[in-house]
């Protein structure tokens, strides 16, 4: 989160909560929703007291109003509101003075999928409201796990974020220890535009006897940090965004 010297700081938190995304196991995915920290930057020659409230309206893509509220700003410069919405939404935000005059106005179109926490910084430049969107940690899920002794591909899905920026790293455990899959030469599986990914975990030897699977979600930029393990101890990836662990039947 950026730290900027402000004359007045208004933190507007709007949480549109849905259920958690993803499957079972330990995952680093966030809850569905959106939170908006808002920051007002007031010109030195103007009084911050001119801004008395923020008016927030949520609409769908057909411009049908779903919810609206006036968010009062207390003497310390804070306001808060909550809604229950997910999906493609248009947020309309007005900064008003005591006479109800909208000093600043901005429309922001955001998609709020389940399993993704999204942060938006709002910086009010008095005549314009600038938005900066930061996507939160995507949700990782294992959707198809091949049974022991039969072989096959591990399949999963990542919800939220830009798939091209992430990849999955999978390890399996046999009696020899943990090994990266499908091979040391191919340590990361790419994620398709629809969020689906697959990894060949049975490549020979004792692979079909593997009892455990451990998949990490990592950034493509961290590919060089991936531990290449072949029959070793359980790998730990401190830079991973999340992980899923599963036992094979």
CA distances from 235 to 30, 102, 188, 220, 225 (A): 23, 55, 14, 18, 12
- Residue ranges per domain, the chain? 11-135, 139-247
Cβ-based neighbour number of residue 201 at 10 Å: 23
DSSP 119-131: EEEEEE-SS-EEE
What's the angle, vertex CA 185, arms to CA 184 and CA 191, rounded to 5? 95
First to last CA, the chain: 43
The band of 218, judged by pLDDT with boundaries at 50, 70 and 90, is very high
Domains 11-135 and 139-247 share a fold: yes
pLDDT of 30 strictly over 70: no
Which of 22-31, 112-121, 134-143, 193-202 is modeled with the greatest confidence?
A: 193-202
pLDDT of 19 strictly over 70: no
CA distances from 177 to 46, 95, 199, 204, 239 (A): 67, 59, 19, 15, 22
pLDDT of 226 strictly over 80: yes
The band of 64, judged by pLDDT with boundaries at 50, 70 and 90, is confident
What's the confidence (pLDDT) of residue 107?
Answer: 65
Residue range 139-247 forms a domain whose CATH class is mainly beta
pLDDT of 75 strictly over 60: no
d(CA 154, CA 50): 58
Beta pairing, strands 139-144 & 153-159: antiparallel
By mean pLDDT, which of 28-32, 172-176, 186-190 is the weakest? 28-32
pLDDT of 15 strictly over 60: no
Whether residue 153 contacts residue 170, with contact meaning beta carbons closer than 8 Å, is answered with no
Question: How many residues are recorded in the chain?
Answer: 249
Topology (CATH level 3) of domain 11-135:
Immunoglobulin-like (2.60.40)
């Amino acid at each position: 989160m950026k730290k900027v010297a402000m004359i007045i700081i208004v933190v507007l938190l709007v949480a549109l909560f849905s259920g958690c995304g993803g499957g079972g196991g330990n995952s680093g995915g966030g809850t569905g929703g959106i939170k908006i920290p808002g920051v007002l930057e007031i010109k030195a020659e103007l009084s911050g007291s001119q801004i008395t409230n923020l008016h927030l309206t949520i609409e769908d893509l057909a411009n049908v109003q779903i919810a609206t509220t006036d968010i009062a700003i207390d003497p310390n410069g804070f306001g808060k509101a909550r809604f229950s919405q997910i999906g493609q939404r248009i947020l309309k935000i007005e900064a008003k003075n005591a006479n109800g005059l909208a000093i600043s106005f901005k429309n922001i179109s955001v998609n709020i999928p389940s399993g993704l926490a999204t942060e938006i910084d709002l910086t009010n430049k008095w005549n314009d409201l600038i938005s900066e969107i930061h996507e939160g940690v995507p949700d990782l899920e294992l959707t198809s796990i091949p049974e022991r002794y039969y072989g096959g591909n591990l399949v999963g899905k990542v919800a939220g974020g830009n798939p091209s920026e992430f990849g999955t790293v999978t390890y399996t455990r046999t009696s020899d220890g943990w090994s990266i899959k499908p091979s040391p030469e191919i340590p990361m599986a790419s994620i398709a535009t629809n969020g689906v990914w697959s990894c060949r975990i049975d490549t020979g030897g004792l692979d079909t006897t593997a009892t455990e699977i451990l998949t990490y979600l990592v950034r493509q930029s961290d590919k060089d940090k991936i531990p290449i393990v072949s029959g070793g101890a359980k790998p730990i990836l401190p830079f991973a965004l999340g992980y899923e662990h599963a036992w094979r039947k």
